[in-house]
Chains A and B, each alone.
Chain A
Amino acid sequence: MSSLIRYISKPHPVTGVTNAKLGTWCFLASEVMLFGGLFSTYVLLRTGASHWPRGSELLNVPLATLNTLILITSSVTMVMSWASLAMKDFPKYRFYMASTILLGLAFLGVKSFEYGSKFSHHHFPSTDPFYAIYFTLTGLHGLHVLGGIIVNTYFLFPGSALWRTEPEQFTGRIECAGLYWHFVDLVWIFLFPVLYLL
């Protein structure tokens, strides 16, 4: 007879979190270190450079501002999708989750346009250190957005079957997905001023 793994749906009495939530926080801690490594790279490259362009001269600030608004809105819809589940409103959850996914895709669309424009003007990562760190930072961030979109799409379609059998656990999963999505948004909040404005 096998025993059950505890605290999958109900939080631990002392820590106050479920396993998934603690695991997600651990994962996010590692992500902070990952992007921290890249931001440190930016600092080292910029302080060691004899000249460094202003982001606003080379990059499309209005478009990036739009992207910032898109991402912040998507964080709001993400919270709303979790809140809908907490209030047992599954159709509302679907609406808000779909909105989050669409906004995420819009973000990536804008980014693709930006990248395409850079490439057509022969600005590549190999062009200079500024473009190198710009493409790498935003590229890795973009991959994280894509990853989030894929996970969210899973939770919108096949994964949502868990709502019928284990609604608490499913709500917890959406909460964790939300934590990740907020983190991705937060990274962009740092990326935007550092790369585009400074």
Chain B
Amino acid sequence: MSHDDHSEKLPFWRKYIFSLDHKVIGVQYAVTGLLFLLFGFSLMMLIRWQLAYPGKPMPFLGQFFHPKTMIGGIMLPEFYNQLGAMHGTIMVFLGVVPLAVGGFGNYVVPLQIGAPDMAFPKLNMMSYWSYFLGGVVMFSSFFLPEGSAQSGWTSYAPLSVIASSGQTWWLFGMVLLITSSLLGSANFITTIVQLRADGLSFFRLPFFVWAQFVTSFLLLLAFPPLEAAGVLQLMDRLAGTSFFLPSGLVVAGRVLERSGGGNPLLWQHLFWFLAHPEVYVLILPAMGIVAEVLATNTRKPIYGYKAMVYSVIFLGFMSFIVWAHHMFLTGMGTKMSAFFQITTMIISIPSIVILTALALSLWGGSIRFNTPTLFAIAFLPMFGIGGLTGLPLGLAASDIHLHDTYYVIGHFHYVVAPGTLFALFAGVYHWYPKVTGRKMSEFLGKLHFWPSLVFINCVFMPMFLMGLAGVSRRLWDPTQYAHAQAVQPLNVFISFSAWFLGLAQIPFILNFFGSLLWGKKVDRNPWEATTLEWSALSPPPHGNFNHPPVVYRGPYEYSVPGQKHDFWPQDMKEKN
């Protein structure tokens, strides 16, 4: 049975709101994700004021904030903690993953495998709306009497158990988001396994599809323990249980009347069992995008494709057995610590293989320096710095000094911000012509790229120095500590860099919307690429292809000797 053949006759709300077409859903995910990224970024810009000028009133903007958040423009610690917790939550769960997996995955994967849609279109639609609802819940929590969640995105117990109602909303929001991810991941796995075009064997798949495939397994298997943990924390908060509360707690001078017998570390184990694979969910689609953009714009096959595939599978498997490296300082014995240090060191190997293969793909190429390529190339050293700075953290002895300092913030932001986000930008510039039928402006693209590259490094590089100096995370006023006061000028530098980084996104926003109207119109294959999505119209119609494609070769047959053109599409039977 096909889904609706009469898509042209569908009413507006079924064609564009509750659509079953993976392309519409992909755009919904992408636009919602981008909006949440912007919102999460704005929260960070507020945080940066307080860090640069602790306790000083925020100029102009301060007057618009409710007295529960700022008094006379001076940010309250409770609001600062809310901003911290929600910035992380929103960027990871409402921004990056929906854009990378829900947006790019949904739109591109069925096209790249030559399928008419995802295997389960109705499930796909429900995944999006579950995500949307989760986002509404998270966003609304700011307006609760005591504000949103404020125990970090990590929600460690017992703090999160005794926190205000915003934490309960956070938990319900997470249940909705996890549901969305679980439904989506089953959809992706089934689609990739079952709906590949004839001739498209697994080792002819674009690396982007492999990356999404492994990502889906991570989401499918790693999220449920967090869902279980969320249920347990909800029980602790609402039903008076003590899953995470030990006996004998005294809060604000009063003995807590609870049964006790629980363990705060139970939450940490369940949380990190998801949250570590989650970080690979954040990076894998990005690596996939970089592979596509580099292959297209170096005009040669990706180096070491097979090694990359085996590495990404191995990486996915390893990501499940490193989680306690986030818990080295919880009183862990040296044997358990040794195990997790070893697995953490091992997992660096496939990451390095993939990064090296991508970098070596440049060698012997003919590199076109357009905007998607600039972002894709920048990803490489940025992810390199992020990955390298994981080493002193993954070694438990050096982690003693660096744990929960700004070194950690620098490390993971390098991977996610100039890492993943740059790759996602590359993806936007690369696939925009397929989605809209128009190219984005190269001028605005470069105006977006260069300042972003400079300022994002100015934001995160100093954090390593701050971490070495011992400055803790999540401090409303770092100047209370002498060791943090010594690096306070760095905070001012970082804040201004962050605000300039914000300004640097304006060309992107203008470009994104403006190109819809004024972008240069393009046909099916403006980049002269080889993968299947470029055989469809721009944008593809409902059902994607007139006839199901047949695949004759691998995904990166560029510059094949003896051909007139320097690209050989996967579904072209004759020579090009």
A binding-site residues for B, Cβ under 8 Å: 1-9, 12, 15, 17, 19, 22-23, 26-27, 29-31, 33-38, 40-41, 44-45, 48-49, 124-129, 132-133, 135-136, 140, 166, 169
Q: Is the CB of A45 within 8 A of B261?
A: yes
Given contacts A3-B116, A166-B1, contact A34 B227 (CB under 8 A): yes
For residue B3, which residues in chain A have a CB less than 8 angstroms away from its CB?
2, 5
Q: Is the CB of B543 within 8 A of A1?
A: yes
In the docked arrangement, what's the CA distance between A44 and B220, Å?
Answer: 24
When C-beta atoms are compared, the residue in chain B nearest to A33 turns out to be B224
Q: Is the CB of B182 within 8 A of A27?
A: yes
Given contacts A27-B186, A126-B259, A136-B232, contact A33 B225 (CB under 8 A): yes
| The residue from B5, B220, B261 contacting A26, defined by CB atoms under 8 A apart | B220
Q: Is the CB of A8 within 8 A of B1?
A: yes
13 residue pairs bridging A and B, Cβ less than 8 Å apart: A2-B3, A3-B544, A5-B117, A5-B121, A23-B120, A23-B189, A26-B189, A29-B220, A34-B224, A48-B263, A124-B239, A129-B241, A132-B242
For residue A127, which residues in chain B have a CB less than 8 angstroms away from its CB?
259
Q: Is the CB of A22 within 8 A of B194?
A: yes
For residue A5, which residues in chain B have a CB less than 8 angstroms away from its CB?
2-3, 115-117, 119, 121, 195
B138 at the interface (CB under 8 A from A): no
When C-beta atoms are compared, the residue in chain A nearest to B220 turns out to be A30
For residue B259, which residues in chain A have a CB less than 8 angstroms away from its CB?
126-129, 132
B binding-site residues for A, Cβ under 8 Å: 1-3, 5, 7, 115-117, 119-121, 123, 182, 185-187, 189-190, 193-195, 220-229, 231-232, 235, 239-243, 258-259, 261-263, 266, 269-270, 273, 541-548
Q: Is the CB of A12 within 8 A of B544?
A: no
Known: A29-B220, A37-B270, A41-B270. 10 other contacts (CB 8 A): A3-B544, A5-B121, A26-B185, A26-B186, A37-B227, A37-B229, A44-B266, A126-B241, A136-B235, A136-B241
For residue B194, which residues in chain A have a CB less than 8 angstroms away from its CB?
6-7, 12, 15, 17, 19, 22
In the docked arrangement, what's the CA distance between A40 and B2, Å?
Answer: 43
Min CB–CB distance B43 → chain A (angstroms) = 30
When C-beta atoms are compared, the residue in chain A nearest to B544 turns out to be A3
Given contacts A48-B263, A129-B261, contact A1 B227 (CB under 8 A): no
Q: Is the CB of B228 within 8 A of A38?
A: yes
In the docked arrangement, what's the CA distance between A22 and B190, Å?
Answer: 6
For residue B269, which residues in chain A have a CB less than 8 angstroms away from its CB?
40, 44
Report whether over half of chain A's contact residues are helix, strand or loop; otherwise say mixed. Answer: helix
Greatest chain A CB density within 10 A among B7, B226, B241 is at B241
Q: Is the CB of A124 within 8 A of B235?
A: no
| The residue from A7, A27, A126 contacting B195, defined by CB atoms under 8 A apart | A7
Q: Is the CB of A125 within 8 A of B545?
A: no
Given contacts A19-B120, A30-B223, contact A2 B5 (CB under 8 A): yes
For residue A19, which residues in chain B have a CB less than 8 angstroms away from its CB?
119-120, 190, 194-195
Given contacts A1-B546, A15-B193, A136-B232, contact A126 B243 (CB under 8 A): no
For residue A48, which residues in chain B have a CB less than 8 angstroms away from its CB?
261, 263
Which 9 A-B pairs give the minimum distances between C-beta atoms?
A: A2-B543, A126-B240, A37-B228, A37-B225, A34-B224, A33-B224, A3-B116, A26-B186, A129-B261
For residue B258, which residues in chain A have a CB less than 8 angstroms away from its CB?
126
| The residue from B220, B239, B547 contacting A125, defined by CB atoms under 8 A apart | B239
Given contacts A2-B542, A26-B185, contact A37 B243 (CB under 8 A): no
For residue B231, which residues in chain A have a CB less than 8 angstroms away from its CB?
38, 136, 140
Min CB–CB distance B338 → chain A (angstroms) = 21
For residue B227, which residues in chain A have a CB less than 8 angstroms away from its CB?
34, 37
In the docked arrangement, what's the CA distance between A48 and B244, Å?
Answer: 12
For residue A8, which residues in chain B have a CB less than 8 angstroms away from its CB?
1
Min CB–CB distance A25 → chain B (angstroms) = 9
Given contacts A8-B1, A29-B220, A166-B1, contact A49 B241 (CB under 8 A): no
Min CB–CB distance A108 → chain B (angstroms) = 19
Q: Is the CB of A129 within 8 A of B243?
A: yes
For residue B239, which residues in chain A have a CB less than 8 angstroms away from its CB?
124-126, 135
In the docked arrangement, what's the CA distance between A51 and B353, Å?
Answer: 50
For residue B7, which residues in chain A have a CB less than 8 angstroms away from its CB?
2
Q: Is the CB of A30 within 8 A of B232?
A: no
Q: Is the CB of B543 within 8 A of A41?
A: no
Min CB–CB distance B137 → chain A (angstroms) = 20
Min CB–CB distance B76 → chain A (angstroms) = 32
| The residue from B116, B226, B261 contacting A2, defined by CB atoms under 8 A apart | B116
In the docked arrangement, what's the CA distance between A29 and B218, Å?
Answer: 12
Greatest chain A CB density within 10 A among B1, B117, B261 is at B261
